[in-house]
Structure 1
Amino acid sequence: MCPVTTILLGSVVLVALVYVFLTWNFNYWKKRGIPSAKAWPFVGSFPSVFTQKRNRVYDIDDICNEYKDSHSIVGVFNTRLPQLLVTTPEYAHKIYATDFRSFHDNELGLFTDKKVDKILANNPAVLRGDEWKARRAEVTPGLSANRVKAVYPVSQDVCKKFVEYVKKQIKMAPSEGLNAKDLCLCYTTEVVSDCVLGISAQSFTDNPTPLVGMIKRVFEGSFAFIYFNVVANLWPPIRKLYGVPLFSKDVENFFFDIMKKCILIRKENPLQQRDDFLNYMLTLQEKKGLDTVELTSHTMTFLTDGFETTAGTLAHILLLLARNPETIRKLREEIGTKEMNFEELSELPYIEACIHETLRIFPPTLYARKLVSETYEFVNKNGVTVKVYPGDVVLVPVNSLHKDPKYYEDPEEFKPERFLESNGGSKKYRDQGVYFGFGDGPRICPGIKFATTQLKAALVEIVRNFDIKVNPRTRTDNRFDDTFFMAALKGGIWLDFKELK
């Protein structure tokens, strides 16, 4: 046999072996009597991860739409790993809430290592088992209503600066309008850094601190981190040998350094103490004996969860308000003109309904990936049962449930009235398993009160001071960005602001 023939034959054999390796278990679910979504080598059931031509959530939505009327569960493949996708709100609610014990953890915890990524690996959203319970119990008191109330004056002050900043931007606004996401990120960076650390990020000046840029870098997404997750799904044992951080080393060092400085300033000025989150963390440090790494990772929970998610939500609320002038009119009637205290701000049902409706249309978590912690049996609509075991992954199609016309009439339309208490409020939809704006169950977002307070405070001032219109540069549908892991309008949100006289 000539060398060329040998090489060609070897190449064919190698390709065949790789193909078999990638596809050999594609009949995993069918053998168990469960329908299986179409899957391809390397990409599994979610080709958009690799094509980048649309957001991955649309692959999930397509599968749900195909199977939800006939099946409550369907098999899918993440590269080559078999996972289960639930299609009914009943199972979604069980996974999040009533049967939480069997779905205690999030899959992301499998891909993080405290030695490699100290900040992300210590986030309560990533921690598993007893570690999560302990961290949750430590963090939650720092986000109590009383503590949020204590820093509310800080929020009010930042809101006034925000209004002045928008007025300044209007004067030099280009024809394509102002970038709403950038505006809102300036606001959340300033309010969160001040409320949490007691420092100003100088977000509304021409010379913001490096904090603003570093926050953006955290959420730009690490290609290496994404690539590692793909490889780890192809060959899970690599997780024990190697890890890739979401936070790059310089970003991690920056936040550790800023925490050290904030702690030092606070300790050197005991008369300037205030009942904020850093004060709570310092008290916790003394009580628990936390080192700087633990203290920073704890505090970063407040920072990272508050910056991007709240900024994105606020930008999308402004977009939907700009599309619906009648909603703005109703908000102005509700908020009036007088200064509000914390209790009055908390009692604004229509503005709260606007927040929930925005989170329904643009949910921060587009789909949840839950790690099975105890053996659980699913029953399909045709009566076939299947068990999942600890270590398996079950997907909850949050976006698909949020947009199901069976539960939401005209699901792409912005109708805040759905979430008014007179119509059952957000609790009605959570109990039905069709609303997860802040999550649900024991792992529901611990910062709900803080986030809604910041959103309400900003919206009150914006609506009072500006007329908002959608710039023609902004798309008219709700299409998600092709690659971002949270819901974000494709092409960005560009708005025109006009100061009210």
Structure 2
Amino acid sequence: MLEITLILVLLLLGLFYVFMTWNFGYWRKRKVPGPKPHCFTGNYPHMYNMKRHSVYDLNDIYSEYEHKFDAVGIYGARSPQLLVISPQVARRVFVSDFRHFHDNEISLMVDEKSDFIMANNPFSQIGDEWKQRRADITPGLTMGRIKTVYPVTQEVCQKMTDWLRKQIRLPPSGGIDAKDMSLRFTSEMVTDCVLGLKAESFSDKPTPIMGYIKDLFAQSWTFIIYFVLVSTLPALRHVFKLRFVPLRIENFFVNLMQTAIDARRQQLAAGKQFERVDFLDYILHLGKKKNLDTRHLTAHTMTFLLDGFETTALYDSCALVLSRDQEAQQKLREELEAHLDDKGIIDFEKLNELPFLDACVQESLRIFPPAFMSNKLCTEPIELPNKTGENFTVERGTTVVVPHYCFMMDEEFFPDPQAFKPERFMQPDAAKMYREQGVFMAFGDGPRVCIGMRFALTQIKGALVELLTKFIIRVNPKTRSDNEYDPTTFIGTCKGGIWLDFELRQ
């Protein structure tokens, strides 16, 4: 009996092993080279233990093959993926061959039943749905509309300064948590700009908005487990869908949206003209034109909110790199002070013309990109070259991984890549030049470039003006001395957090 049981157990283990590895010949059959995958994890050895960020595993593969091939075949658990090695091919994926790589992989993981908000976000929409939604949203994020809410940026920056002054009267020994500070800033900024409401994030009694926003971006373990499971069993994507926005958070924002709509309509009914033509004004006009209910209006509005909160990570990284480099901090401070008006504000048009400010922000984006990589879907078969290897065909439905981090940390493109060197972006149109080379895609590129990019950049530049003209920023010893990423996050976050010391300037 014991022998039979042992044989059955071994047989089951053998069948499970075959199941987990049978797909490992996918790329070999298509004559695409690549590293040997491992059972359970494929080419992501830290998929389960989360001891190392996955982008470092991709960078190891990139470093091994970058001078040999344009792309290699890898596996997420047992799911085949194409890892782009060549920046030129990456550029083709995003721009010149866009129609072959039109959609993002996350589109397979959400639908309106599982997550109404995320399913209606342009990032996860596909085909004509994406085109229509982007056409609806883009006019709401023009530079003209961003300019109309620029005074809000100044108000929120002043609130941040007042809050910081209170904090540094009795500064904590571990410094000020930059993530908490940036979350307060973006909560107040985006809520006011988009909805015309106050989050009171810098007060002693903030509204529930900040807490819900914090929960929205808190990456739960169920989120991580889902990605692991669908990598192991891709068919699960047809059965179980991802809920990025929890139902209680969705309900909160639907109610918040209704509150904002009612408040605006009451103002108009009372004959009061709202003082600015903001994003809510645009959304209400769009809703009237398309006969949208509150839930659909909320889905449209959440696009502004979700894109706006990319600023949180960017804000952290800018503050960190400048706190480490006092010389660059002082140089930037001098540039800013040369353009301050009598109220201590830099004009909106001038803000976007300051070369060293822009260079510092772009260099921060290079070191701490909002997205380490992009997972695109092949939507039409296409034949690609492979340097010293044979040409191959990417089939429809294939996941194509573009590792932005690898390009931006490559010595060949950015010498001494871990160092903060804003001068890399001081040449005219340097960011555009790097983007056209395919080595700098902090916000993506091509038709699906992040639509909230300009809004996010305006926010962070406004915040830097306020911080650097009012304070001297230093890194607290509690912060790591390297740039190692937190392995449990998808958005660039320094492991252990970012802790800063602020000194009020005289």
TM class, shorter-length:
over 0.9
Report deviation, 1:272: 4.3
1:150-181 deviation per Cα after TM superposition (whole angstroms, max 9, x unaligned): 11111111111111111111113211111111
Report deviation, 1:103: 0.6
1:487 and 2:497 aligned: no
Among residues 450, 456, 461, which one is paired with 2:466 in the alignment? 461
Query: Which residue does the alignment assign to 2:38?
Result: 40
Among residues 219, 222, 225, which one is paired with 2:223 in the alignment? 225
Instruction: Report the Cα distance in structure 2 between the residues aligned to 1:219 and 1:238, rounded to whole angstroms.
Output: 24
Among residues 296, 306, 312, which one is paired with 1:304 in the alignment? 306
1:59-115 deviation per Cα after TM superposition (whole angstroms, max 9, x unaligned): 111110111111111110011111110111111111111111111111011111111
Range moving further from structure 2, 240-249 or 78-87: 240-249
Instruction: Report the Cα distance in structure 1 between the residues aligned to 2:231 and 2:53, rounded to whole angstroms.
Output: 19
1:69 and 2:67 aligned: yes
1:364 and 2:370 aligned: yes
Among residues 206, 211, 214, which one is paired with 1:213 in the alignment? 211
Query: Which residue does the alignment assign to 1:101?
Result: 99
Query: Which residue does the alignment assign to 2:414?
Result: 408
Within 5 A, what are the aligned runs for 1:117-156? Answer: 117-156=115-154
1:270-324 deviation per Cα after TM superposition (whole angstroms, max 9, x unaligned): 12433110110000001111122211111001112212x2011111101111111
Say whether the 8 Å CA contact 2:52–2:487 is kept in structure 1: yes
Instruction: Report the Cα distance in structure 2 between the residues aligned to 1:200 and 1:70, rounded to whole angstroms.
Output: 54
Instruction: Report the Cα distance in structure 2 between the residues aligned to 1:217 and 1:76, rounded to whole angstroms.
Output: 33
Report deviation, 1:242: 2.5
Report deviation, 1:120: 1.2
TM-score (norm 2): 0.96
**Structure 2 runs not aligned, ≥5 long:** none
Query: Which residue does the alignment assign to 2:424?
Result: 418
Query: Which residue does the alignment assign to 2:155?
Result: 157
Within 5 A, what are the aligned runs for 1:341-360? Answer: 341-360=347-366
Instruction: Report the Cα distance in structure 2 between the residues aligned to 1:364 and 1:78, rounded to whole angstroms.
Output: 22
Instruction: Report the Cα distance in structure 2 between the residues aligned to 1:244 and 1:407, rounded to whole angstroms.
Output: 37
Instruction: Report the Cα distance in structure 1 between the residues aligned to 2:13 and 2:96, rounded to whole angstroms.
Output: 46
Query: Which residue does the alignment assign to 1:11?
Result: 9
Say whether the 8 Å CA contact 2:102–2:377 is kept in structure 1: yes
One-letter identity of the residue aligned with 1:306: G
Report deviation, 1:220: 1.1
Among residues 367, 374, 377, which one is paired with 2:380 in the alignment? 374
Instruction: Report the Cα distance in structure 2 between the residues aligned to 1:244 and 1:455, rounded to whole angstroms.
Output: 31
Instruction: Report the Cα distance in structure 2 between the residues aligned to 1:445 and 1:417, rounded to whole angstroms.
Output: 25
Instruction: Report the Cα distance in structure 2 between the residues aligned to 1:223 and 1:294, rounded to whole angstroms.
Output: 28
**Structure 1 runs not aligned, ≥5 long:** none
One-letter identity of the residue aligned with 1:63: I
Count of aligned pairs: 497
One-letter identity of the residue aligned with 1:168: K
Identical positions, percent: 47
TM-score (norm 1): 0.97
Query: Which residue does the alignment assign to 1:477?
Result: 482
Say whether the 8 Å CA contact 1:466–1:500 is kept in structure 2: yes
Instruction: Report the Cα distance in structure 1 between the residues aligned to 2:316 and 2:233, rounded to whole angstroms.
Output: 39
Report deviation, 1:261: 1.1
Report deviation, 1:383: 4.1
Query: Which residue does the alignment assign to 2:290?
Result: 288
Q: Which runs of 4+ in 1 moved over 6 A?
A: none
Among residues 421, 430, 436, which one is paired with 1:431 in the alignment? 436
SS of equivalent residue, structure 1 residue 242 = coil
Instruction: Report the Cα distance in structure 1 between the residues aligned to 2:235 and 2:320, rounded to whole angstroms.
Output: 44
Say whether the 8 Å CA contact 2:351–2:461 is kept in structure 1: yes
Query: Which residue does the alignment assign to 2:22?
Result: 24
SS of equivalent residue, structure 1 residue 496 = strand
One-letter identity of the residue aligned with 1:84: L
Instruction: Report the Cα distance in structure 1 between the residues aligned to 2:82 and 2:501, rounded to whole angstroms.
Output: 44
- Superposed CA RMSD: 1.2
Instruction: Report the Cα distance in structure 2 between the residues aligned to 1:285 and 1:392, rounded to whole angstroms.
Output: 36
Range moving further from structure 2, 347-356 or 196-205: 347-356
Among residues 366, 381, 399, which one is paired with 2:405 in the alignment? 399
Instruction: Report the Cα distance in structure 1 between the residues aligned to 2:451 and 2:502, rounded to whole angstroms.
Output: 33
Report deviation, 1:352: 0.9
1:174-203 deviation per Cα after TM superposition (whole angstroms, max 9, x unaligned): 111111111111111101100000011010
